[in-house]
C-alpha cells in the first residue's frame, strides 16, 4: 500500500484514503466543434503508460476531497513529489537528488 502526501491537508496518509485519477495534465479540447476524431481519441483514450516517472492525479476522497498531482516512478512505485492542481509539472532536474529513492 502506498503512502501518499496530500498537499492540501499537508499530511501523509495511507493509499486507501485516496483514489487514483489516472494520467495528469490531459486537457479537454477547448473547441469541441473543431476537434478532429483523432484528437478526441488522444484525449479520451490514449495514455502514455510510461515505464518510469509519470505525472498522475490523486484525489483525497476520504479527506479534503480535492484533486492534486504527483510524480511517481512506475517501476519502484516510489513518489518523487506531490503538487497542487494548477501548479506546473516539476521537471526532474528541479527535484532533489534523493527524491523517489
Q: Which three cell numbers stand for residue 74?
A: 512506475
Binders in 13-32 for other proteins, by CB under 8 A: 15-16, 19-20, 22-23
Query: Which of 46, 61, 89, 92 touches other proteins (CB under 8 A)?
Result: 46
Residue 48 contacts residue 31 (beta carbons within 8 Å):
no
Tell the burial category of 87 from Cβ atoms under 10 Å away from its Cβ (0-12, 13-18, 19+).
exposed
For residues 44 and 50, what is the distance between their CA atoms, to the nearest angstrom? Answer: 17
User: How many residues lie near other proteins (CB under 8 A)?
Assistant: 28
Closest distance between other proteins and the C-beta of residue 69, in Å? Answer: 13
Binders in 70-99 for other proteins, by CB under 8 A: 72, 74-77
Closest CA to 43 of 24, 27, 57: 27
Residues within the interface to other proteins (CB under 8 A) = 1-2, 15-16, 19-20, 22-23, 37-38, 40-42, 44-51, 54, 56, 72, 74-77
Amino acid at each position: 500500500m502506498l503512502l501518499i502526501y496530500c498537499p492540501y491537508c499537508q499530511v501523509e496518509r495511507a493509499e486507501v484514503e485516496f483514489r487514483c485519477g489516472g494520467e495528469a495534465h490531459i486537457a479537454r479540447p477547448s473547441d469541441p466543434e473543431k476537434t478532429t476524431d483523432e484528437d478526441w481519441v488522444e484525449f479520451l483514450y490514449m495514455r502514455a503508460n510510461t515505464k518510469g516517472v509519470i505525472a498522475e492525479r490523486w484525489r483525497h476522497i476520504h479527506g479534503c476531497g480535492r484533486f492534486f498531482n504527483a510524480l511517481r516512478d512506475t517501476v519502484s512505485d516510489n513518489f518523487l513529489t506531490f503538487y497542487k492542481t494548477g501548479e506546473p509539472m516539476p521537471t526532474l532536474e528541479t527535484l532533489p537528488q534523493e527524491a523517489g529513492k
